[in-house]
Amino acid sequence: MTEYWQEISALTMRWVRRLSREKFSMLFTLVQPMLFWLIFFGNLFQRAADTQVTQAPNYISFLAAGVVVMTVLNNGLAGGVDLLFDKENGFLERLMSAPIRRSSVILSRFIFVMTITSLQVLVILGVASLFGVHPATGLLGVATILLIGMLFGVGLTAISMAMAFSVKSHGDFFSVLGFLSLPMIFLSSALVPLAAMPGWMSFLARFNPMTWAIDAVRPLILSGWSEALPHVAMVIPVMLAFDAICLYGGVKAFRRAMG
């Protein structure tokens, strides 16, 4: 058990070290876009968005939940990229020829992605509060938001890793990624409530796990516990089922790739 922990912590430290040496690219690719959505998109649509439709005091407070979950989405879907590069340049083989548990590499990646995502979610909530959006459910609400984010993120990261282990080249990986990410956002309640969508879009959005996550995070930010609790109670089993499916696929892809 101590050996297992030694492996996981050393591998996690590797991801942290890499991040610390790629500060700029990380800052630009991960942190900024999400803040841009919140700051620019949120303020841009302040008057265009009808508060009657969004059921929120202003558009930016409506959007905050969407941006939080979009952060989880993007980080999760990109979570397997580094393993893909490790696979391509042989580093993964080097790790796998060591007497480590096969799961250590994957677990280290989950721990890293979840930690970074949680930190980013906190930054986004912090920036949102500069625009006057304060989570109605307080610190416990913020903790719940992080929990939902992690539950959603685990499944997404598993999808990303499954792709990383299955694709032939990283070109394929990024095309699939680009193809997945935007429709997931548009076909969810991130930018517009389901009720205000064209029928076919709201129909599809209902099946999007992202919608479920947002619908739980949004009342945690906007309304308070009485409205949030039923959503939270719903989203947890839904996310657990989502994770179970994704992890099953991920493990299969990993087994196939690792002989």
Partner 1 sequence: MDRAIAIEVNRLCKDYGSHRAVADLSFQVYEGEIFGLLGPNGAGKSTTLRILITLLQPTSGNASIFGHDTVREADRVRRLIGYVPQERAIDRFLTGREHLQLLSALYHLTREDAARRINELLKLVDLEAHADRPAKTYSGGMKRKLDIACGLLPNPKILFLDEPTLGLDVQSRLRIWEYVRMLKARGMTVVMTTNYLDEADQLCDRLAIIDGGCIKALGSPTELKVALGGDIVSLTIKETDRIAGLASALANQPAIKTVRTTSNGLDIRVESPEKALPIILETANRLGCGIEFIEYHRPRLDDVFIAHTGRRITDTAEQPVE
Tell me the two tokens of residue 107.
Answer: 């677990």
The residue (of 206 and 256) whose beta carbon lies closer to partner 1 is 256
Distance CA 87, CA 75 (A): 19
Residue 86 vs 215, nearer CB to partner 1:
86
Distance from C-alpha of 249 to C-alpha of 259, rounded to nearest angstrom = 16
Size of the site for partner 1 (CB under 8 A): 27
Tell me how far, at minimum, the Cβ of 108 lies from partner 1, in Å: 11
Interface map 99-118 toward partner 1 (x if CB under 8 A)? xx---x--------------
Min. distance of Cβ 168 from partner 1 in angstroms? 10
Give the CB-side neighbour count of residue 45, counting CA atoms within 13 A: 22
CA distances in angstroms from 232 to 17, 58, 70, 147, 238, listed in the order given: 35, 23, 18, 10, 10
**Sole residue written with tokens 């076909």:** 187
Shorter beta-carbon distance to partner 1: residue 93 or 172: 93
Residue 188 tokens read as 């969810």
* Among the residue ranges 10-18, 116-124, 134-142, 232-240, the one whose residues contact partner 1 (CB under 8 A): 10-18
CB atoms within 10 A of CB 196: 16
140 is written with which tokens? Answer: 């416990």
50 part of the interface to partner 1, by CB under 8 A: no
- Minimum distance of partner 1 from residue 26's CB (angstroms): 11
Q: How far apart are CA 140 and CA 131, in angstroms?
A: 21
Rounded least distance, CB 216 to partner 1, Å: 37
Nearer CB in complex with partner 1: 4/179:
4
Contacts of 84 (CB under 8 A, 6+ apart): 163, 164, 167, 170, 173
Residue 198 binds partner 1 (CB under 8 A): no
Which one-letter DSSP state was computed for residue 134? -
Q: Of the ranges 1-9, 143-151, 202-210, 213-221, which one interacts with partner 1 (CB under 8 A)?
A: 1-9
Give the x-and-dash track for 59-98 against partner 1 (CB under 8 A): ---------------------------x--xxx-xxxxxx
Note the residues at the interface with partner 1 (CB under 8 A): 3, 6-7, 9-11, 13-14, 17-18, 21-22, 86, 89-91, 93-100, 104, 258-259
